[in-house]
Amino acid sequence: MSHDSSPSPPDADGVPRPPDRRALAVLAWLWVGAPLCYGVYELVQKATQLFSG
Over the stretch 1-46, which tens digit does the pLDDT of each residue have?
556 566 667 777 888 888 889 999 999 999 999 999 999 999 999 9
- Separation of alpha carbons 47 and 12, rounded Å: 55
At residue 26, the pLDDT reads 95
Q: Which of 9, 28, 30 is nearest to 20 (CA)?
A: 9
Q: Would you list the domain boundaries of the chain?
A: 21-53
pLDDT range class, residue 47, cuts 50, 70, 90: very high
- pLDDT of the residue at 50: 94
Q: What is the Cα–Cα distance from 10 to 17, expressed in whole angstroms? A: 6
* Residues belonging to the chain: 53
Query: What is the structure's pLDDT at 13?
Result: 82
* CA distance linking residue 39 with residue 49, whole number of Å: 15
